[in-house]
Structure 1
Amino acid sequence: MIRTITTLLLFQTIGEGIAFALSLPVPGPVIGMVLLFIYLVVAKGAVDKLAPVSLELLKHLSLLFIPAGVGIMVHAQRVAAEWLPIALALVASTVVSIAVTAAVVRALQK
C-alpha cells in the first residue's frame, strides 16, 4: 500500500516539478497522470501492483471533494459575482464531455 501511494505521489510531484520548471499552463497533476499512464503502458507488471490500492482509494473518492466544497463556501461572494461565466463553463464542459464520450464509445463499438 505504501509503495502504491508513494508511486502515485511521485508521479504527481514530477508533474508539478515539470509544470513549475517549464512554466506550463497545464496543472502539474495532469502532467503527472500522463506520465503515470505512459509508465503503466510501458511497465507491464505495474498495473497489477497498483490496481488493488488504487481501487480502494477510488472507493473513498468522495472525501476528496470536501476541500473543493470548503473552497466554494469560502469564496461564495466571488462565485455569486461571477455566476454567469461559471455556469457557462460548466454547461459547455458538460456538453463537450458528453460529445467526446459518445464519439469514443461509437468508435470503440465499430
Structure 2
Amino acid sequence: MLVPAFAIILLFQLAGEVISRALHLPLPGPVLGMVGMVVALTSFPRLSAIVTPAAQGLLRYLSMLFVPVGVGIVANLHTIESHWLAISVSVVVSTLFAIVVGALTFTWVARLTGSRADD
C-alpha cells in the first residue's frame, strides 16, 4: 500500500513542476504540487487514508534529510569562515524582513476579514 501512496505524492510533485514550468510561474513546482495535494486531500477523504501512512513514514525520518546540509556546511567551512560577516548580516536581515512581512500580512488579513484584536 505504500507504493501507491508514494506514487500519488510524487505525481502531485510532478504535476506542480509541469504547471510551474509550462506557465513560467515564479513559484516552485513542489509548492504548487503541495497546494494541489492539500486541495485533493481535503476534497477526497479516501485519498487522505491512502497517503497518510506514507506521509507519516516520511515525517518520521525527516531529520535525516538535514544530514546532507550538515555535511555541506562542514565541507565548505573555509568559505563560510571567509564570508561570515555577509552570511550573518543576510541571515539577520532576511529573518527580520520575514517577521515584518508576516506581521504586516497578518494585520492586512485581519483588517480584510474584519477581525478585532480581542477575537
Aligned positions of 1:67-78 closer than 5 A: 67-73=68-74, 77=79
Q: Equivalent residue for 1:80?
A: 84
| Cα deviation digits, residues 60-99 of structure 1 (max 9, x gap) | 11111223334445565376363212322134435738x9
The answer to whether the aligner puts 1:90 opposite 2:91 as a matched pair is: no
Structure 1 residues 16 and 80 mapped into 2: Cα distance closer, same or farther (>3 Å)?
A: farther
Q: Equivalent residue for 1:27?
A: 28
Give the number of equivalent residue pairs. Answer: 103
RMSD: 2.9
Q: Equivalent residue for 2:7?
A: 6
SS at match of 1:45: helix
Any gaps of 5 or more consecutive residues in structure 2? 111-118
Query: Deviation above 6 Å: which 4+ runs of structure 1?
Result: none
Q: Equivalent residue for 2:116?
A: none
| Cα deviation digits, residues 5-29 of structure 1 (max 9, x gap) | 1111111111111111111111111
Structure 1 residues 67 and 50 mapped into 2: Cα distance closer, same or farther (>3 Å)?
A: same
Query: Please, what TM-score do these two structures have when normalized by structure 1?
Result: 0.72
Structure possessing the higher radius of gyration over alpha carbons: 2
- Residue identity (%): 33
Any gaps of 5 or more consecutive residues in structure 1? 104-109
SS at match of 2:16: helix
